[in-house]
Amino acid sequence: MEYFFNPKGIALVGATTKPARGGFSILTNLLKGFAGNIYPVNPRYSSIEGLSCYPSVLDVPDPVDLAIVFVPGPLVPKVIQECVMRKIPGVMIESGGFSETGDEGKKLQDMLRRIAHETGIRLWGPNCMGLVDAVSHHVFSFVSPTIWDYGLIPGDVSLIVQSGMLSAGFLIDTMTHGTMGISKVCSIGNKVDVEECELLEYLIKDPHTKAIGLYMESIPDGRRFMEICSRSPKPIVALKGGKSRKGAEAAMSHTASLSGNGAIISGAMSQAGIIEATDFKQMMDFCRTLAAYPSLPRNPAGRVAVLTYSGGAGIVSADFIENMGLEVADLSWQTRQTLKSVFPGWMPIANPVDLWPAVEKNGGEKTYRAAVEAVCADPGVDAIFLHLFAGGFSLNFDISPLAARVKEFGKPMIAWLIGERKQAREMQTAIQKQGIPVFREIQRSVECLHVLFKRNKRETPWCSSIQSSLTPKASDRWKQVLAMPSNSLDEHVSKQILADFGVPTVPEKIIRSISEAKAAATSFGFPIVMKGITPGVVHKTEQGLVRIGIHSNEMVETAFSALRAAMPNGGSILVQQQINGSIELIAGFLRDPQFGPCVMLGLGGIFAEALADTAFAVAPISRKDAFHLMDQIRAQKVLNGFRNSIPVNRDALSDILICLGEIGLSCPQIQEIDINPLIVCNGGPIAVDASIILATDAFLQSHSHTKTP
């Protein structure tokens, strides 16, 4: 990657003298910031901007280790072949006209991929804005040269952006508004070769990057992506576009249909310790906050002191703080005494701290300094939320001494600022130079505080491999069944397989007659459940094939006859012990095209899809991952025992979730597993109904690129 970021010489193929063309913008940007050799390439010119212009990249002298290509798409493959002949190791293709345009463009892109594979040349793009490095002043991009008019503001946040125009928009917005500085922006476009995983590894090692933001529309190798992010010492924020999946309604299992809302992507990110953003501005704000405070003291509780000049703003802040799972700190006696020294005697001290009466008495600078030092010294305060105003009211003062004191205590401070436009912009820029993130909305300020304290940094990196002494034996026993041409296994066989892997299942028996049904009922004890098992039917309730609450032999006879009548084409009847519990869960497994084997947990029963309170994790999962998966369920009160019910045995449930991951990893023939309901009886989860969906040959072939052990 080094020749993309710090080349010795650059050949610009498509350089031009026409100001309206991208080739001119790229050359202008190179001339303004790149200190190495620049070689324009265009057979129409002998020189451009005082530089010798070459008819072909083959004619370019040394040193040259990077080519930037901006010519029409159909001409690009020939240029790349010439770069191979010239032994240029890296090419940044900023031309469009490839897979984003349709079949013909896809053919061109496939040619580029084939050249890269056969020759080893590295290709960045195509259809991208290239690279902007504000620290090194390297603008290898056709972004408008007007960017230099505002000054490239160096910062410590780097971005990897799949969309070209979006990366340009980020730059112009941040530079003109003075919101933040940037280290590097990498626009990677269609990712024919160089992709986010390689750039992530580079930026993680980059000394000028403290936090990394990503906007992605696809993650070709989700498992490698997770491994890299999970071991990153630097915070990573990601915004994933296109999380919805068409066709989820046609999925055979609840597990698959519930994955259609981006839940797998969100689960994978959370599992890898990635902060997920929901819009572009939020992603940038999270990044700059995490870059300012990349690490906090171990296990801070998230107790916030709010220092405000407005009682109303303090109340709104407290509401957001509590709604986002943080705490409004209880100030210590010593802190209250210190604050009393600057407050009028009649003013009670409480958090949020309304500083205005003290400002009227002492002025803004003295009051704010006393308040900041008091809460910084308070052991019950983990962070400071500072409210500022620009443009009057005795609130304009130099905040540098406050910033220095906060850094000495090692506690994060975030500022909310409003006021007169020009002065507010100047004040925001000055404060951010002190390393304090400034925001214009209270809600966004508190969101960023929340991210600091709720960042799920893994203690050990996630690993895609697994070692188990149980799964190979179980998978060998069921090899022939799993190789069946049928696309789904019936409930009874599915649960036999699950039980062999270690999942607790309900006692049950296939019966052929009323007498066998009565004998099974006597063995299990009333009440019982009777079900009709028909090949290819997964959702039995909708087909009228389930009878529950059977508590007499007469009801056994009635249910047997009704089920036989409901299956005119034949089928089996299953008798089960009826499991009564206060909680119904759903657990499952599916094979995702981006992340491979994934495990799911949620609220189950007939409302599983209606409530959609589910969470996903990528297998294999550790016990800590399993507990984290449980914590993602919104209905925590249900899991913890609602209205005196027995709570879920989380250790037992984690065993089942871990086991589901092991099954998926060891049995590539399985596409989906659905356990619904997983009934919690006396705290222990038991699989009452289940189905296993087998992968078709076409599915296995289309997903052969997904790397699984």
% the chain with pLDDT above 90 = 66
673: in domain: no
Do 116 and 233 sit in the same domain of this protein? Answer: yes
Do 313 and 218 sit in the same domain of this protein? Answer: no
> What pLDDT sits at residue 240?
85
**207 burial level (CB within 10 Å; 0-12, 13-18, 19+):** exposed
Query: What average pLDDT score do residues 165-178 get?
Result: 65
Radius of gyration of the chain (CA): 31
Q: What tens digit of pLDDT does each residue of 273-288 get? A: 999 999 889 999 999 9
Do 220 and 313 sit in the same domain of this protein? Answer: no
Do 226 and 352 sit in the same domain of this protein? Answer: no
689: in domain: no
Q: What tens digit of pLDDT does each residue of 226-250 get? A: 999 999 999 999 998 766 554 444 4
Do 227 and 131 sit in the same domain of this protein? Answer: yes
Q: Of 242, 258, 279, which residue sits at a domain end?
A: 242
106: in domain: yes
Give dist(CA 388, CA 372) in Å, integer: 13
The answer for residues whose C-beta is within 8 angstroms of residue 278's C-beta and 6 or more apart is 239
Ordered alpha helix ranges (H), 484-545 = 491-501, 514-524
386: in domain: yes
At which residue do the structure tokens 């919104």 appear?
634
Q: What tens digit of pLDDT does each residue of 494-527 get? A: 999 999 999 999 999 999 999 999 999 999 999 9
> Quick count: other Cβ atoms within 10 Å of Cβ 492?
18
Q: Of 454, 488, 508, which residue sits at a domain end?
A: 454
Do 188 and 319 sit in the same domain of this protein? Answer: no
Please give the order of strands across the beta sheet that includes 138-140: 138-140, 130-133, 182-187, 154-161, 211-216, 236-240, 275-276
Do 326 and 220 sit in the same domain of this protein? Answer: no
Residue 453 — φ and ψ, nearest 5°?
A: -90, -20
Q: How many residues does the chain have?
A: 709
> What pLDDT sits at residue 708?
42
268: in domain: no
Mean pLDDT lowest among 39-53, 57-71, 428-442? 428-442
Widest distance between CA atoms in the chain: 100
Degrees (nearest 5) of the Cα angle 100, 106, 110? 130
> What pLDDT sits at residue 116?
97
Do 71 and 204 sit in the same domain of this protein? Answer: yes
> Can you say whether the dihedral through the CA atoms of 647, 652, 655, 657 is positive or negative?
negative
Do 348 and 222 sit in the same domain of this protein? Answer: no
Phi/psi class of residue 87: alpha, beta or left (left: φ > 0; alpha: ψ in -120 to 50)? left
Do 238 and 306 sit in the same domain of this protein? Answer: no
pTM of the entire predicted model:
0.89
Q: What tens digit of pLDDT does each residue of 94-105 get? A: 999 999 899 999
At which residue do the structure tokens 């390393």 appear?
435
**What CATH number is given to the structural domain containing 441?**
3.40.50.261
Do 62 and 137 sit in the same domain of this protein? Answer: yes
Tell which wins on pLDDT, 54 or 468.
Answer: 54
**294 burial level (CB within 10 Å; 0-12, 13-18, 19+):** middle
DSSP state of 316: H
Do 220 and 130 sit in the same domain of this protein? Answer: yes
55: in domain: yes
685: in domain: no
- In the chain, the number of structural domains is 2
Q: Of 394, 421, 454, which residue sits at a domain end?
A: 454
Q: Is the pLDDT of residue 194 over 70?
A: yes
6: in domain: yes
Looking at every residue in the chain, the average pLDDT score rounds to: 89
Residue 227, domain extent: 2-242
